[in-house]
Amino acid sequence: MSARRFMINSRTVRDGYASFDGDIYNHMVRVLRLGTGDAVQLADEKGMVYYGTINQVAKEWVAVKITSSVLASESDSNAPHITICQALPKGDKIDLILQKGTELGAHDFWLFGGRRSVAKIRDDQQVGKLERWNRITAEAARQCGRPDIPEVTWLPSAVEAASDTGHELRLILWEGEKDHSLKDSLSVGGKPSSVIVAIGPEGGFDPLEVRHFSQHGFQPVSLGTRILRTETASIAILAILQYTWGEM
């Protein structure tokens, strides 16, 4: 069985060793019963993967001796960097979008308050929400064996989401688009280095938002005549982009 992979913070690696207490200690030693000499992989938030063996197990901490390391972030794959620019949906749908988007290779997530987003994030909730959302992507990355962890960012509205971007290909999924299909957008200009896809909340995009995104180079595209749930649209577009330009 290949060595088990643990998501770590890059700060824990120092001078060829890494030591852990708390959750990682419990998982390694108590749950998986790993011991001295067992091989492990340590993946940090910067896309580095460290290969090593456990060289000390104490009562409440464990030390790993690192033998090699590689920068194996998603950017090693031939897929473009894909940013999901998601208007905040209701309830815990965002958990599904972050989890499935991580499995499907999204490079990062920009969440924003859509004009029709029912859920709202108060200023004093932002830090806690971001910690929780980034935990979801970290856990999903660990589960699917990704070397890097997609970062989740919060933006107040579509205005910031549309104007902050430098992505080469910019798409806004809009069911009102009748002329331009996704296939049209993906068949011109070859493989982009980066793609950003804006997706509306349950209530869809406000026409003002569609216009704002369009003014910032986002091409409205349709995913066909059926109205998809916001979480379905997010999963579908990632699978299509990975199939077209990625490693699927």
Where on the chain is the footprint of ligand SAM (CB under 6 A)? 173-175, 199-200, 202, 204-205, 222-224, 226-230, 233
Residue 158 token pair: 């579509």
Residue 109, by phi and psi: left (phi above 0), alpha (psi -120 to 50) or beta? beta
Instruction: Decide: helix, strand or coil at residue 7.
Output: strand
Nearer to ligand SAM, 64 or 240 (CB): 240
Nearer to ligand SAM, 12 or 222 (CB): 222
162 and 213 in contact (C-beta within 8 Å)?
A: yes
Amino acid identity, residue 176?
A: G
Nearer to ligand SAM, 134 or 230 (CB): 230
Instruction: Decide: helix, strand or coil at residue 115.
Output: coil
CA distance 74 to 94: 22
CB of 164 to ligand SAM, least distance (A): 19
CB of 154 to ligand SAM, least distance (A): 19
CB of 190 to ligand SAM, least distance (A): 23
Instruction: Decide: helix, strand or coil at residue 68.
Output: strand
Please name the residue that has the structure tokens 């699978």. 239
CB of 66 to ligand SAM, least distance (A): 44
| Residue with the CB atom nearest ligand SAM in the bound state | 200
Nearer to ligand SAM, 65 or 178 (CB): 178
Query: Shortest CA distance to 45 belongs to which of 17, 12, 67?
Result: 12
Nearer to ligand SAM, 48 or 221 (CB): 221
CB of 207 to ligand SAM, least distance (A): 11
